[in-house]
Structure 1
Amino acid sequence: MTVSLYDRLGGYDAIGLFATQLVDRAKADALLGRFWAHSGDDRDARALQLLIDYLVRETGGQMYYTGRDMALAHVGMGIDEADWARFIELVIQVAGELGVGASEGGEVLAFLDDLKPSIVITRG
């Protein structure tokens, strides 16, 4: 029997903690903070819960995600390569501090790499 990434990451509470710490760091980050500069607490709380729901579902947990697809959710934000690189740095930092194993971390990074074309704008 194969154990889901959701279970190997520690389930809902662990994914919730990861998402909360990641978003808190991104909000405070000199580069990424601009994406939250003009949002209120209610919007931020809803966006965080949608992120948790999405991550739980995508890692194999039992969660119904009610948000938009990644392309639509990020359209018009102007997320570029530098933003993406900084975001990945924060993902790695938070995952490392929370003790995410190398195998699970690699799966998370591969998952994010698959999402990148839907989120990052291409210039050219």
Structure 2
Amino acid sequence: MVVSLYDRLGGYDAIGEFAGRLISGAQSDSLLGRFWGHRADDRNARDLQMLIDYLVRETGGQMYYTGRDMALTHAGMGITDIDWARFIEIVIQVAGELGVGELEGAEVLAFLDGLKGDIVTAG
């Protein structure tokens, strides 16, 4: 029996915790915080829920994601390779804090690497 990444990560609650800590870390980061600087709390809460829904679906959980694709979602934001590298550092930090296993962490990083071309749009 193949166990989904969703289940190996701990299911909905664990992915929600990961996403919440990830976004909190990015929002408070001196480099990445600018992407949330002028947004209302309700918008940020909605975007967090969309991220959770997306991650649950993409890892094999039963979630219907109603958001836009990653290219459209991040269009015009001017996200650079430097921003991306800092984001990945935060991902790794949060995964470590939550005790994500090496295999699962590698799968998450490979998944994110596949999204980079849709998200990083500036030099």
TM-score (norm 1): 0.98
1:29-65 alpha-carbon deviations (Å, 9 max, x no partner): 0000000000011000000000000000000000000
In the alignment, structure 1 residue 42 sits paired with structure 2 residue 42: yes
Q: State the alpha-carbon separation in 2 of the partners of residues 112 and 41 from structure 1.
A: 26
Aligned pairs for 1:14-25 (under 5 A) are: 14-25=14-25
1:69-94 alpha-carbon deviations (Å, 9 max, x no partner): 00000000000000000000000000
Q: State the alpha-carbon separation in 1 of the partners of residues 122 and 113 from structure 2.
A: 15
3-state SS of the aligned residue for 2:55?
helix
Q: State the alpha-carbon separation in 1 of the partners of residues 76 and 39 from structure 2.
A: 15
Indicate how the Cα distance of structure 1 residues 27 and 122 shifts in structure 2: closer, same or farther if over 3 A, else same. closer
Deviation for aligned residue 1:122 = 4.6
Q: State the alpha-carbon separation in 2 of the partners of residues 119 and 2 from structure 1.
A: 30
Retained in 1: the 8 A contact 2:5–2:104? yes
Retained in 1: the 8 A contact 2:54–2:65? yes
- Structure 2 counterpart of 1:12: 12
Residue type of the partner of 2:102?
Answer: A
- Structure 1 counterpart of 2:33: 33
> Could you list the runs of 4 or more consecutive aligned residues of structure 1 that deviate by over 4 angstroms after TM superposition?
none
Residue type of the partner of 2:113?
Answer: D
Q: State the alpha-carbon separation in 2 of the partners of residues 26 and 85 from structure 1.
A: 12
RMSD: 0.6
Residue type of the partner of 2:6?
Answer: Y
Consecutive unaligned residues in structure 1, runs of 5 or more = none
Aligned pairs for 1:35-114 (under 5 A) are: 35-114=35-114
Paired residues, number: 123
Q: Tell me the percent identity.
A: 75
Q: State the alpha-carbon separation in 1 of the partners of residues 121 and 41 from structure 2.
A: 27
Deviation for aligned residue 1:121 = 1.2
